[in-house]
Amino acid sequence: MTTFSIAAIDELWLHGTLAERRLTHGRAEQRGNEIVATDARDDALVAACERAMVELRAAMPGDAERVRLVARNGEATMTIEMNGISIVTTPEHVEADMQLLRPYATQSPAPRPLRPAPLVWHNGSAAVLLHEAIGHPAELDVVPIEWPSWLRVDCPISLRRTSFSDVPLRRMTRLVVSQNGAPFALPSPRIDVHLVRGGAYDPLTDVVTIDVAIPAFTIRATRAQIAAAIAGALGEPIRYPGVVCSREGQELVVDSFAPLLVTRELT
């Protein structure tokens, strides 16, 4: 028999005022292919979440429009939204990550690029592209394709679940993109990708969709097209602030890192 226990507290703050607070706890016992799940309480886990929530509240930026604080088994994350654009961060990284978000807080939405051009993926945002193009296919046991020889993507996969009543699924625990001897030339003209709103991978069509937030546009391409478009990379992996991954309705944070990456046109 395997057991899984969870406690979570989440709070929604709008313009610095508490709007919602919820406590969740439960325990799942699995024997073979049967799970018995109840909302049993583990006091130690709840106490760890209360401590993490104190830390989250102390770190919450005062100028954010919408902040969701989540303490899950004592781990603290916060999703911060300004002007319709969001990041996912932790108390440790919030100050640095807000430097990425604040420039867009008062601006009009960045314009959609007028015409396709090579893309330069900043701030570790290429991790989202490869989360969809390599991570999800690996979770689903889709036949791998060939990627540039200098590109390395480390995405350990294990059984994970969001809550006690969920069925564990093969999910990425993190995704780290690195390069070894990659070519690099900054293209001109180019589109500089700064933040990404979300993405998806459909195993039926092998199509990856990336919804870029800054600047606002959407990419739809097959894995093969993406692999063929990868042109170069520079430097060490950078932590990207913002991958909350949803599959079968189960949302999990996936720590994501990537170097500066250059791709040819993707539309």
Partner 1 sequence: MIYRKWGRAVRWENGTIVRVEEAGEAREEDGVFFAQPIAHGVIPSGREGSPARVIAVAEGILRCAQDDMKIERVLVSEGIALHECDSVRWHEETRHVHVALTRGPWRVLIDDAEVVGRVADALARCEGERDFEHVLVPPQIKIDVNCEKEQMPGGLDGYGRPIERHRVEGEPPNFYRPSYRVRPVRRWMNVRAIPFGTMRPAPQVIALVDGAKALVEHDERVFVTRLRVDRVTAAGERGEMLL
Q: Does 173 bind partner 1 (CB under 8 A)?
A: no
Q: Does 224 bind partner 1 (CB under 8 A)?
A: no
Q: Cα(245)–Cα(199) distance, rounded to whole angstroms?
A: 9
Q: Output 41 or 57, the one with its CB closest to partner 1.
A: 41
Q: Output 34 or 146, the one with its CB closest to partner 1.
A: 34
Q: Output 83 or 163, the one with its CB closest to partner 1.
A: 163
Q: How far is the CB of 38 from partner 1 (least distance, A)?
A: 5
Site for partner 1 in 34-73 (CB under 8 A): 34-39, 41
Contact 62, 15 (CB under 8 A): no
Q: How far is the CB of 227 from partner 1 (least distance, A)?
A: 21
Q: How far is the CB of 30 from partner 1 (least distance, A)?
A: 8
Q: Output 38 or 246, the one with its CB closest to partner 1.
A: 38
Interacting residues of 179 by C-beta distance below 8 A, sequence separation 6+: 150, 151, 152, 233, 234, 259
Number of residues that bind partner 1 (CB under 8 A): 21
State which of residues 16, 18, 63, 107 lies at the interface with partner 1 (CB under 8 A): 18
Q: Output 21 or 112, the one with its CB closest to partner 1.
A: 21
Q: Cα(229)–Cα(90) distance, rounded to whole angstroms?
A: 33
Q: Output 104 or 201, the one with its CB closest to partner 1.
A: 201
Part of the chain binding partner 1 (CB under 8 A), chosen from 18-26, 69-77, 98-106, 113-121 = 18-26
Distances from the Cα of 47 to the Cαs of 80, 87, 117, in angstroms?
24, 27, 51
State which of residues 25, 68, 122, 131 lies at the interface with partner 1 (CB under 8 A): 25
Q: Does 218 bind partner 1 (CB under 8 A)?
A: no
Q: Cα(88)–Cα(42) distance, rounded to whole angstroms?
A: 27
Residues that bind partner 1 in the complex, under the rule CB under 8 A: 18-26, 33-39, 41, 165, 167, 204-205
